[in-house]
Amino acid sequence: MRRTRTPRGHRIGAALAAVAMRPRLWLTAGRAMRRLIPSRWWVRPPFLPVPHRDYVRFRLLTAVGPDSSVAAEPADLIQWLEWCRHWPAAAAVHPSHEARDPEPALLRP
């Protein structure tokens, strides 16, 4: 499916509405915003708590590809937030893996 650009304000509003309809993602979205906002954002233009332009460009490139006529959709944001929400559990080392023998039996003399 080919996506086209829509006005930026409409995309931001649609993204906020998509997150607002999913209370389970509110905490994840808040954490993500806190991590993405540059420190001392108030001393540099545009004097708003927004992520760095280069980071946003990189994330959009990895999300939708190099075609500049394609914009990220609210569904892309929701998918990313769901991934962020589940990542700590997926990345955690399972207790049964910690106790494994570091030297497999096949390698012992």
Asked if residue 104 belongs to a domain, the reply is no
Asked if residue 78 belongs to a domain, the reply is yes
Q: From the centroid of its chain, how far is CA 108?
A: 44
Predicted confidence at residue 1, as pLDDT, reads 46
> Residue 62 phi/psi, 5° resolution?
-75, -25
State both tokens at 107. 């390698």
Range 25-38 average pLDDT: 92
How large is the angle between the packed helices 26-36 and 74-91, nearest 10 degrees? 90
Predicted confidence at residue 95, as pLDDT, reads 57
Count of the separate structural domains present in the chain: 1
Q: Which domain holds residue 29?
A: 13-86
Asked if residue 49 belongs to a domain, the reply is yes
Residue with tokens 């998918």: 79
Asked if residue 76 belongs to a domain, the reply is yes
CA distance 77 to 93: 27
Per-residue pLDDT tens for 53-90?
A: 898 888 888 877 887 677 778 998 999 999 999 887 76
Predicted confidence at residue 20, as pLDDT, reads 96
Per-residue pLDDT tens for 9-29?
A: 788 899 999 999 999 999 999
Asked if residue 45 belongs to a domain, the reply is yes
Asked if residue 92 belongs to a domain, the reply is no
